[in-house]
Amino acid sequence: MLELEKKPWLNNYPEGVSPVIQIPEVPLYALLDETARRYPERTATIFYGGKINYLQLKEAADRFAAAIQRLGVKKGDRVAIMLPNCPQCVIAYYGTLKAGAVAVMTNPLYVERELAHQMKDSGAKVLVALDALYPRIKNVLADTELSSLVFTGIKDYLPFPLNLLYPIKAKKEGHAVRVPPGPNTFWLTKLLRDASAFAPVEVKPDDLALLQYTGGTTGTSKGAMLTHRNLVANVYQVKEWLVDCKEGGETLLAALPFFHVYGMTVALNFAIAIAGTLVVHPRFVILDVLKSINMYKPTLFPGAPTMYVAVNNHPDVGKYDVRSVRACISGAAPLPVEVQEKFEALTGGKLVEGYGLTEASPVTHCNPIYGKRKPGSIGLPFPNTEAWVVDLDSGTRLLDVGEVGELVVRGPQVMKGYWNMPEESELALRDGWLYTGDIARVDEEGYFFIVDRKKEMIIAGGFNIYPREIEEVLYEHPKVREAAAIGVKDAYRGETVKAFVVLKEGETATEEEIVEFCRTRLAKYKVPKMVEFRSELPKTMVGKILRRVLAEEENKKAAQ
């Protein structure tokens, strides 16, 4: 059993941030109810110029709760939400929780195989989706327990006429895809319009709120069981960390997808807790984002490194006023120092790297926004959170400062376990500690550094090589915009390093040039033996580069 005595981060907490905070004993939707009570006229969402205030948002969520109750949804039933960022997504999510049901956030880009697995595994009874996704959905219905389908179109919440910022033509009649009528098929707008008052359901903090599926990077996608307590705790931890956030006075750029746990907590739930205004983007389009920042003056911009890279490198960024951005927490992937420094120079705000994982709602660490931060570090554990590094073999021995091992964390944001996977749950959760699968070290001041993924470590000639270390060097090259490193099979060394590089616009480089650059900065056994140039790299919806996909491509080539 791990007993943690050393907590050096407590001596380095930023001024005004407490290491121990009180977490309200309430269900997550109570945050919306309280904000609607205190700030009813405050704008909750801005979507393509259309605005919804908090009172309207609460009333719509109440109506959705009533509507799905009429469809037979009871406490504990699962409701899948397959929507991009839009007001309908927020309404369905909070309405689901109000009905005592469990939300299953589903990526709209899922192919049929992924969709069928998630619906079947979760046992979802209701699916709320874009009408444009109907062709995909109809092909998997027979393999699911879905009893009701609720459709909406992006245009359902667009203002008319559209704000000139977004010159998109929308029709008032018809839908993007014809959805055939049926006894179990409904339109969201009609359900909301016809709904009566919902029957309140007693929801306790330890009740399940969300099944958030992992990306499946280690095999079959798993549903992390997150409770109301988990999600509320992480919201209040973020709120404490953003020590100068003003209740009722912040505007957040919401380009991170709400169906991803990072966007859900750090953008959606956090904004609602502080009565913030969400400038909602259904997907990250850099020109739209720059126009939004220029027009709506967001103060907070949670994102992923690729988003900040896009802002930094846009040729017309100087034409837009981006100086409203005061604070940004970057997650989902390592934040290169060069990206951080350039973004801060452009905006005048603070950009810091944090860390989290689906199983922890997700944030566990962050660099101080206004205190001491360390390049390459994920920062300090959040309030009410403990963390340390244990040996890779047994996972039972606490390592000394500076030693490399597996990162373990515990705190109120850590999941209940994996849905219907008791053996996987026992491996991940031991004596209250979450074993993250990430390789890390901690320094004498309590700052943590992620070395790499345990399962993505490259072993070449008996040496352990961490892809992140190579990628940090590649990002230092003045011509490189994005980079990834993986291990490929090697008859002599077992594995060897291959780098994938995306160059900045207008730049050219040779394989020899990149290798020589690495040779002057890395030990010989770490230097890439191969370099492949690409126009883009495979990524998740939040911009995390998928080394797994690159490795799969290489394995297929080797097998041919």
Q: What is the mean pLDDT of residues 285-290?
A: 96
pLDDT above 50 for 168: no
pLDDT mean across residues, the chain: 91
Residue of 464 and 471 predicted with greater confidence: 471
- Check residues 23 and 217 and name the one with the higher pLDDT: 23
Cα within 13 Å of Cα(485), Cβ side: 27
For residue 351, give the H/E element and its range.
strand 350-356
Lowest average pLDDT, out of 175-179, 398-402, 506-510, goes to: 175-179
Of all residues in the chain, the percent with pLDDT exceeding 90 is 75
Q: Where exactly are the structural domains of the chain?
A: 49-203, 457-559
User: In this model, does residue 392 exceed pLDDT 90?
Assistant: no
508 has a pLDDT exceeding 60: yes
The pLDDT value given to residue 167: 36
Is the pLDDT score of 25 beyond 50? yes
Residue-by-residue DSSP string for 469-514: HHHHHHHHSTTEEEEEEEEEEETTTEEEEEEEEEEPTT----HHHH
Region 298-323: what's the mean pLDDT?
A: 94
Indicate whether 173 pLDDT > 50. Answer: no
Please state the φ and ψ torsions of residue 284, each to the nearest 5 degrees.
-85, 110
The pLDDT assigned to 239 comes to 97
Given a cut of 80, whether residue 87 has pLDDT beyond it is yes
Q: What is the arithmetic mean of pLDDT over 68-88?
A: 97
Instruction: Give the pLDDT mean for 370-392.
Output: 94
Would the pLDDT of 177 be above 70? Answer: no
- Residue bearing the bigger pLDDT, 168 or 54: 54
Q: Kind and range of the H or E element at 425?
A: helix 422-428
Is domain 49-203 in CATH 3.40.50.980, yes or no?
A: yes
Start-to-end Cα distance in the chain:
48
8 A C-beta contact, residue 27 and residue 205? yes
One-letter amino acid of 332: A
- Is it the case that residue 555 has pLDDT exceeding 70? yes
In degrees rounded to 5, what are phi and psi of residue 46?
Answer: -120, 120
Over range 459-474, report the average pLDDT. 80
pLDDT of 156 reads 87
Q: Are 448 and 19 in contact (CB under 8 A)?
A: no
For the domain covering 457-559, report its CATH number.
3.30.300.30
pLDDT at 190: 93
Kind of pairing, strands 223-227 and 251-254?
A: unpaired
pLDDT band at 447 (very low <50, low <70, confident <90, very high): very high
Confidence at residue 348, expressed as pLDDT on a 0 to 100 scale: 97
The pLDDT of residue 166 is 36
Q: Does the global pTM surpass 0.75? A: yes
Task: Pick the more confident residue, 393 or 256.
Answer: 256
Average pLDDT, stretch 104-112? 90
Among 79-88, 274-283, 387-396, which stretch is predicted with the lowest mean pLDDT?
Answer: 387-396
pLDDT of 165 reads 35
Determine the pLDDT at residue 263.
95
| Tens of pLDDT, residues 331-380 | 877 788 888 999 999 999 999 999 999 999 999 999 999 999 998 899 99
Q: What percent of the chain has pLDDT over 70?
A: 94
More confident residue, 113 or 184: 184
| Pairing mode of beta strands 78-82, 126-130 | parallel
